[in-house]
Amino acid sequence: MTGITAEQARVRAEVSEYGATNAIAQIDMFIGTQSDLKQRSYDCHFAKTSLSKDAAQEVQIDLLHRGFQVELSETDIHWAFKVRW
């Protein structure tokens, strides 16, 4: 039998959701501290072990929906976000 069990899929979904929520919170926290400063972008990286491809795309979509410009790229071990506002 190939594939994953329903339990494995559920756990992966929970981890993905947690990773996306955590990444969004970290980005929001940084942006919130920059409101008085002239910096208008934030480059950040998240390890692929803590953020799945689906979760990285969820982060990108969330930020785009809130009016940020977001570039998502990847390296062998990281998801890289360039967020501009």
Q: What is the mean pLDDT of residues 57-72?
A: 95
Task: Give residue 77's pLDDT.
Answer: 94
Query: How deeply is 68 buried, as exposed, middle or buried, from its count of CB atoms within 10 A (0-12, 13-18, 19+)?
Result: middle
Task: Give residue 1's pLDDT.
Answer: 47
pLDDT in tens, 2-44: 576 777 666 666 666 678 888 999 999 888 877 666 778 899 9
Say whether pTM exceeds 0.85. Answer: no
Rg (CA), the chain: 15
Task: Give residue 45's pLDDT.
Answer: 93
